[in-house]
């Protein structure tokens, strides 16, 4: 199954992807995670991406489309994948269509996790991530058992440098102007499934299953 996760920053794409990976046994491909890994490893890609990410802007399409094209041609994507954070504008959505048409492997669904924008700032500023394994927490909505420590691996939790109030405002503007139109792109193709993301994490997961025609509980 080839799935795209849509939704504003902080809507819960990464959180839901963690469960989807286990349910569907497919690779999770997050452009944000790939850029953060590149920054951590000090690669040329990371160096270039960092300034855009810190400003809350989109990394240019040439870079982003290139890394996705490489990643989805890898053998573990043969049975499908869960794309999280890509495509983030209509040009990327079109580029993805071309890539998948070349492989004769069309998308099955675009799941749009819908959360009112006024709830997003609290989600993003309270987000904490594990520096070792990337597991996502929230100080109020999904706290770790022990403060500052990852439940999955014991690693230290950190706050992303772009999860500050100032950068979040820019990211939300970018979302409204450039990313929200991608919803219409997939609606026109009959691939869009809306999921209510404004409920408990477990309930969102059940709604995701329903949107994919599966029963999870």
By the criterion CB under 6 A, which residues form the site for ligand ADP? 7, 9-15, 31-32, 35, 52-53, 56-59, 64, 85-86, 88, 92, 123, 126-127, 136-138, 141-142, 162, 171, 197, 200-201, 204
Output 101 or 133, the one with its CB closest to Zn ion: 133
50 contacts which partner out of ligand ADP, Zn ion, none, CB within 5 to 8 A by kind?
A: none
**127 is an active site residue:** yes
Output 81 or 86, the one with its CB closest to ligand ADP: 86
Q: Out of 88, 123, 128, 193, pick the active-site residue.
A: 88
Output 69 or 149, the one with its CB closest to Zn ion: 149
Q: Hey, is 31 helix, strand or coil? A: helix
CA 83/CA 81 separation, integer angstroms: 6
Output 154 or 184, the one with its CB closest to Zn ion: 154
**Contact by Cβ (8 Å): 27, 76:** yes
CA 207/CA 214 separation, integer angstroms: 9
Q: Which residues bind Zn ion (CB under 5 A)?
A: 130, 132-133, 135, 150, 152-153, 155
Q: Which two three-digit tokens encode residue 105?
A: 């492997």
Please report which residue ranges of the chain form alpha helices under DSSP H: 13-24, 31-40, 44-55, 61-72, 90-102, 120-125, 165-174, 181-188, 201-211
CA 14 → CA 3, 33, 75, 188, 193, distances in Å?
13, 9, 22, 25, 17
Do strands 127-130 and 157-158 pair parallel, antiparallel, or not at all (unpaired)?
antiparallel
**160 is an active site residue:** yes
Q: Out of 2, 123, 128, 171, pick the active-site residue.
A: 171
Distance of CA 125 to the CA centre of its chain: 17
Q: How far is the CB of 203 from ligand ADP (least distance, A)?
A: 8
**2 is an active site residue:** no
Q: Out of 36, 123, 127, 128, pick the active-site residue.
A: 127
CA 27/CA 134 separation, integer angstroms: 15
Output 46 or 155, the one with its CB closest to Zn ion: 155
Q: How far is the CB of 48 from ligand ADP (least distance, A)?
A: 11
Enumerate residues 6+ apart whose C-beta is below 8 A from 127.
Answer: 10, 136, 137, 138, 159, 160, 163
Q: How far is the CB of 119 from ligand ADP (least distance, A)?
A: 8
**88 is an active site residue:** yes
28 contacts which partner out of ligand ADP, Zn ion, none, CB within 5 to 8 A by kind?
A: none
Task: Show which residues are catalytic.
Answer: 13, 88, 127, 160, 171
């Amino acid at each position: 199954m080839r799935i795209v996760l849509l939704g504003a920053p902080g809507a819960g794409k990464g959180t839901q992807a963690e469960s989807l990976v286990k349910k569907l046994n497919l690779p999770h491909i997050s452009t944000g995670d790939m850029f953060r890994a590149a920054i951590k490893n000090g690669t040329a890609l990371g160096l270039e991406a960092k300034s855009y990410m810190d400003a809350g802007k989109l990394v240019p399409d040439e870079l982003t489309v290139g890394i996705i094209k490489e990643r989805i041609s890898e053998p573990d994507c043969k049975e499908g994948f869960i794309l999280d954070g890509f495509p983030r504008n209509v040009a990327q959505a079109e580029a993805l269509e071309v890539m998948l048409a070349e492989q004769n492997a069309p998308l099955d669904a675009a799941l749009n996790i819908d959360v009112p924008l006024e709830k997003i700032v609290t989600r993003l500023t309270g987000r904490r991530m594990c520096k070792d394994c990337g597991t996502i927490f929230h100080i109020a909505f999904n706290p770790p058992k022990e403060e500052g420590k990852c439940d999955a691996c014991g690693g230290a939790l950190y706050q992303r440098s772009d999860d500050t109030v100032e950068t979040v405002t820019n990211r939300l503007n970018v979302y409204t102007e450039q990313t929200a139109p991608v919803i219409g792109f997939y609606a026109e193709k009959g691939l869009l499934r809306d999921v209510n993301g404004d409920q408990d994490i477990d309930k969102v997961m059940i709604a995701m299953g329903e949107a994919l025609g599966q029963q999870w509980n």
